[in-house]
Amino acid sequence: MSKLFKTSIVIALVAFVFTSCDKTRRKLQFMPDMYQSVSGEPYEESNVFENGSEAQLPAVGSVSRGHIPYEYPDTNEGYLSAKKNLKSPLTPEDFDSKKSAQLYQIYCVVCHGKKGNGLGDLVKREKFLGIPNYKDRDITEGSIYHVLMHGKNMMGSHASQLTEKERWLIVKHVQELRKNLLK
Ligand code: HEC
């Protein structure tokens, strides 16, 4: 094979590779399913289910994976019931004082202050008022957890920011702070 012939083959190949990469003028589709997927139509008529639609609500009582239901409602009765009955599932081995202090620092200190006396930076700068000193509140592990789940008046819920375990770790820290404030 002449050198010229070989060179022209290489050039032709390179040209082919580059032209085939031009997505604006695609002529040949390699594995077309990747581009033109079969679309599912959730609202399409179907006779698979009784109500005639493919889109179905989850069965009654289904729980999404990893979700732990919280059964105390966001009412005064729910608060009182949680205060009395809800107990921490953490065992002494689960407890990690460093981690709970860290979480408290991240989520609560701006308002409640490092010691829990209600003098966080936002209070000192008069940006937020009405934050209690933990020692002035008759709170239990259940009520603290309940307030983290549902919030209370001006305090928002922390349910979406924290996992169940993280919430219980914080609860323990609040109890420690309260104990120290009451000394
Ligand atoms: C934006 C400010 C703010 C943040 C952040 C905040 N709180 Fe509060 N918290 C409040 C206010 C305001 C109240 C008073 C609510 C009331 O009783 O009207 C309160 C009340 C409480 C109470 C007493 C509730 C009761 O039953 O009397 C607890 C316990 C508490 N907060 C814990 C926490 C914990 C733990 C965190 C962090 C995860 C936190 N708070 C984050 C503003 C805040």
Residue that wins the pLDDT comparison between 21 and 84: 84
Find the mean pLDDT for residues 13-24: 64
Tell me the per-residue pLDDT of 34-84, one tens digit each, with 9 for 90 and over. Answer: 777 777 777 777 788 887 777 888 888 888 887 888 999 999 999 999 999
Cα–Cα dist 51/172, whole Å:
49
Q: For the residues 7-34, what does the mean pLDDT come to?
A: 72
Look at residue 130 in the predicted model and tell me its pLDDT: 93
- What value does the mean pLDDT of the chain take? 89
Q: Is 106 in the pocket of ligand 1 (CB under 6 A)?
A: no
Residue 172's identity, in one-letter code, is K
Ligand 1 atom, smallest distance to 108 CA: 37
Tell which wins on pLDDT, 147 or 4.
147
- Say what the pLDDT of residue 23 is: 61
Instruction: Centre a 10 Å sphere on the Cβ of residue 171 and count the other Cβ atoms it contains.
Output: 25
Residue-level pLDDT at 19 = 62
C-alpha–C-alpha distance, residues 117 and 181, integer Å: 8
Closest CA to 174 of 151, 153, 128, 143: 143
In the reported structure, the alpha carbon of residue 166 is separated from the centroid of ligand 1 by a whole-number distance in angstroms of 16
Report pLDDT digits (tens) over 125-174.
Answer: 999 899 999 999 999 999 999 999 999 999 999 999 999 999 999 999 99
- Top pLDDT among 112 and 2 is at 112
What whole-number distance in Å separates Cα of residue 37 and Cα of residue 25?
19
Q: Measuring from atom 36 of ligand 1, which residue has the nearest CA? A: 108
CA Rg value for the chain: 30
Question: What is the reported pLDDT for 64?
Answer: 83
